[in-house]
Every structure is written in C-alpha cells, then in structure tokens.
A and B are shown apart, each in its own frame.
Chain A
Amino acid sequence: MTKQKTDFYPEVWKEFLLKDNQLILFQFNRKAIWLRRRNEALYLAEVENDNDGGYRIIRDPEPPGDEIPWEQYITRNREFRFQPRTPDQPLILRPLTPVAILPEVQIHYHVAIPLWAGLTPSRVRGNSIFRDVELNKLSHTWFGPPSSGEFCYFWEHPLEAELDEAQIEPAWAICPLTIRNNSKSLLKFERFCIRSLYLSLYAGSQSLWTNEVKVTFKGAEQTSHISFSSRHPSTEKSMRLLSPPRVPPEQQILKRSFDFFKYFTSY
C-alpha cells in the first residue's frame, strides 16, 4: 500500500473523540464523511467525490459549503468509531476472462469485498450502529430469473486469482475464496454471486480480511454448497475480529452461486 493508505489503515477503524464544535473529515477516496458535534447532537454528512480523493483523516479541516446534506443524531456520546461492515446484499462479480473449471478441479481466488462503515458510539455493548455508510459506489443488480431472483450489488472489481497488494484499497477487505467443481461437467460461468452477508471481518497487518469461503458446485441443476470458516484466514498468524457477519451463517448454505443461463428478458 502507498504511504497515504498505510497512514489511514488501521487508524480509520479506531475510536476517535469528537469535542464540542469540532469537525472531522474521513476521506475514503470517492466518499467523504463529515462529522461535527454541537450541543449534544452529532451531525453527519456523506458526500460523493467524482475524483479520487485519497484516504485521509483530517481533524478541524476547512468547513464544507452549506449545500452538503447534514443529518442530525441526538446523543451525549463524544467518542465514536467506524466499524467496518460487509455489504448488506450479496455481490455479483464477473471474471476478467471467461472461466471454465474442469470436473474435480478447484481454484483459489482473493476477492476484493467493498466495505460499509457503521458509525457507533464507543464502549457500547451489542449492536449499536446507528448509521451505515456505503464507501464504494455499487450499482443495483438482479441475480437469477426476473420472476424469482434476488437483489444484489454489482461490483466492478473483477474476479481474479490474485490481488496485487498495491491495488488493495482501505475501503475493501480481502476474501479468500475457493471454488470446487464436484460435478461431472465443465463449470463455465459468467457471473459469480458471493454471499457477503455471512462474512466476518478481521484486521490484518496491512488490510482487512474476511473468513474463508468455499463453494462446491454440484451441477447446474442443483444449488451450490457454500461453507464459511469460523476463524480468520491462515495468511497471518493472528488477526483480531473486528466485525461479526451481518447474518450468522449456518454450517452449510445451499444457494445459487453461478449464473450461466440466459433468461428471457427480451422478446
């Protein structure tokens, strides 16, 4: 990671104090989050940037213009933190080049997962997140037939076997993914659905990681078996758990993960 990014992580996920009338800016590249405290109220504004603004935390910056949309939260707390969170819907990814996995073969990926930042008062037990901020611009999409699919986010970052460390953004987490073809036919897919609601987030030395995911394909007519490991990935010896999954996963989940049928959406 560049020096700017190393200054940002892991500072961004730590507690911060917001004094009365103080302004803090959290710059997540294309998303800026302004925070201000005044008279027992916390003011938050979320602003999109068209250009890459880098990753910075600025205390007492130049005040923004009046046009930014402030939201007011009544609270006596002065210490807060951003808790990293996984997307609130599954993610659809496309491989960079068309992939075909032969029977009884598996492939490993490191998938970039876009993060949300949940604002919570510090030192409060349980789930106390009162504002979820989407840090990456994701488009809405649909996975499956028009009559029976599900809403997902489309993630522009392609599905690749390896992630270049220099490309890893602080607003992402890395998910070790294994796809195994346990069927007798070729697994050729154009889109892959990753069930991000079941992912936990761990703090690595350089970036955030999720728990490992294993997807076993059993044939086009059947749903795939998806399993989530219950501990941090083995890339580093120890990693602290920062965020539990939005939805606790069952031991094995049966869900559609691959999309290779052309549904009739045009006549």
Chain B
Amino acid sequence: MDVTKLFEQINFEGLLLENMGVRLIRIGIYLILGLVLLRLIQFLLNRTLKSSVSPQALMLIKKFLNYLGFFVILLLVLHELDVQLTAILGAAGVLGLALGVASRNSLGNIISGLFLIGERPFEIGNIIQIGDKTGVVDSIDLLSIKIITFSNHYIRIPNETIINSDVVNITRFRIRRMDITLTVERGTDLNKLEQVLRETAGEIDYCLTEPEPLFLLQEITETGTALLFGVWFQNPYFVTVKNELLKTLEARFAREALTLAVPKMIIRQSAP
C-alpha cells in the first residue's frame, strides 16, 4: 500500500482552516473513550462468560473484540481527519490478499488454531506431551499454544505442529495409572511377589483401592521374569506416589528377600 496516497487523503488544509483544536480534542476523546470502553467490555466478558466458556475460547473472544475495537477507533480517527475510507478499505483488501499469500504459514496456524478450539484435545491447565516436550498448557492462541515445562521453560508451539502431531493429554482425566516394570530372578515365588506388591500399593495414601492395581506377568527370559505392576492414583500426586511406592518397595523387597534380576551373560568355552 502506498503511504503517500494515505497522506494525500488527509485534508491538512481542512484541518488548519477548520478549528483544528476541536478536531484534535474529538480525536483525543475517541481514543480515550474507546480504550476505556474496550477495557470495560473485557471486564464484563470476564465476569459473564468465565463460567460458561472455556478459558481459551474466552481469550480468543476477548482478543477478537479488542482488535475489532481498535479497528473501529482507527476508522473514527481517520474519519475525523477527513480521510476517504472507501479508498483505504479498497487498498486494505488488496493488501490483505498480498499479506495472505505471503503469510500462508501463519494462515495455516490460524486455521489449525480454530480446529483445535473446536476439537478441544486439551485445555489451559492440562499437562500435555508433544514429541519430547512436556508441560502445562499456559495459553491457546490463534497462531500457537504456549506451554510451561516443569523446569519453568516457556515453549511456543505452532498450532499446525500440534494438528500434525500426536498429543498426549496426561491430565485429561482425574486418575491415571503409573506403570512400573520389574524383572525378578527366576525361581521367585510369584504369588508372594504379587501379594507384596499389592500390600505395598495399599499402604500408599494416594494410591486408589479401585481400580485395582494391575499385576501382569509379561515374559520369562533367561535373566528372569519380567512383569508390569500398575497402580492407579489421583492425578496431582504423581511425584508423591512414585517416590513413596519405590521407597516402600525397596524396603519391602529387602525384608522379604525378593531380588531383582541382574542381566547375565553365560559364556561357554569348548575345549580345544
């Protein structure tokens, strides 16, 4: 867009001749009132919609209204400066097309963002895993989402990346299962082992009685017997449950003389 053409549109002569002070005051009023009104709208939206829409939808509605509000204020100011709006809108249309072609990646992210809002695979506050990144969803915006990792890193992930990736929502439901894989020595009394594991899970406060812990024998190898023990727990207590469970298992194994298998390699040498 040609900026000089925009300047040509502004009727500076008119401004000088026609009570410039009054116009400037009017522009000032539009700006101040407009900004105050926008703030008020944001506040009212927060109060009325907070409980009925998701946080990300509310964020998008507020941003949309904000941009719309700024655009309306800009139009009022330009009108006050006697700028021909039809020409600007026409130029803006051409500009929009040019920008759209040039920023098709951003457009892709915006469209992906709209799909994400519709699908709602996660919400603000959920813990998600995308590839090798795990963190708490901080915001879901038009172009990207932002997550905060547990080491307090702030990561911006484009929406298109999310749409094209596997996303694991770890805290979608209020409970989940923690799986521990163990390999015990061949010859271990597996009934006793199961009893020990279940009793240990029962001693941990945040482990749930039901669903019952999973005890699954996976395979018998030369090294030992591999098994999976899974306990169900309340979502916020992952660290507590894991630490308590492993500490208690360690102590209990020692007490019951249960031994984990150590990888072995048997080398047989034949006589020359």
A interface residues with partner B (beta carbon < 8 Å) = 92, 139-143, 146-149, 151, 154, 191, 263, 265-266
> Taking CB as reference atom, which chain A residue is nearest B172?
A147
Taken together as a complex, chains A and B put the C-alpha atoms of A223 and B234 apart, in Å, by 25
Closest to B176 in A: A146
Nearest residue, chain A, Cβ from B233? A140
Given contacts A151-B234, A265-B177, A266-B230, contact A142 B206 (CB under 8 A): no
Cα distance A139–B207 in the bound complex, in angstroms: 8
A265: which B residues are within 8 A, CB to CB?
Answer: 177, 211-212, 214, 232
9 contacts between A and B (CB under 8 A): A139-B209, A141-B210, A142-B175, A143-B210, A146-B176, A146-B232, A151-B174, A265-B211, A266-B216
Are A140 and B209 in contact, with the CB atoms below 8 A?
Answer: yes
What's the interface size class on B, roughly? 10 to 19
Minimum C-beta distance from B23 to chain A (A): 62
**B34 is an interface residue with CB less than 8 A from chain A:** no
The total number of A-B Cβ pairs within 8 Å is 42
Label chain A's interface by main secondary structure: strand
| Minimum CB–CB distance for B110 against chain A, Å | 31
Binding site for A on B (CB under 8 A): 173-177, 202, 205-212, 214, 216, 230, 232, 234
Verify A92–B214 contact, CB threshold 8 A.
Answer: no
Q: Which residue of B lies closest to A92 (CB)?
A: B210
Contact assessment for A154 and B210 in the assembled complex, using a CB-CB cutoff below 8 Å: yes
Cβ contacts under 8 Å, B174 to chain A: 151
Q: How far is the CB of A138 from chain B (nearest CB, A)?
A: 9
**CA A14 – CA B244 in complex, angstroms?**
39
Would you call B211 and A142 a contact (CB within 8 A)?
yes
Chain A residues with Cβ under 8 A from B209's Cβ?
Answer: 92, 139-141, 154
Q: A151-B174, A151-B234, A265-B177 are in contact. Are A142 and B214 (CB under 8 A)?
A: no
A140 and B214 in contact, given A147-B173, A265-B232 (Cβ under 8 angstroms): no
Interchain CB contact (< 8 A) of A139 among B175, B176, B202, B230: B202
Contacts of A148 in B (CB 8 A): 173
| Bound Cα distance A141, B202 (Å) | 11
List chain A residues, Cβ under 8 A from B202. Answer: 139
B177 in contact with A140 (CB, 8 Å): no
A142 touches B177 (CB 8 A): no
- State how many angstroms separate the Cβ of A189 from the closest Cβ of chain B: 14
Contact between B210 and A142, CB atoms less than 8 A apart:
yes
Closest Cβ of chain A to B259, distance in Å, is 26
| Complex Cα spacing A148 to B230, Å | 19
Contact A140:B173 (CB < 8 A) given known A263-B211, A265-B212, A266-B216? no
Residue in contact with A146 in the complex, picked from B173, B205, B206, B207, CB distance below 8 Å: B173
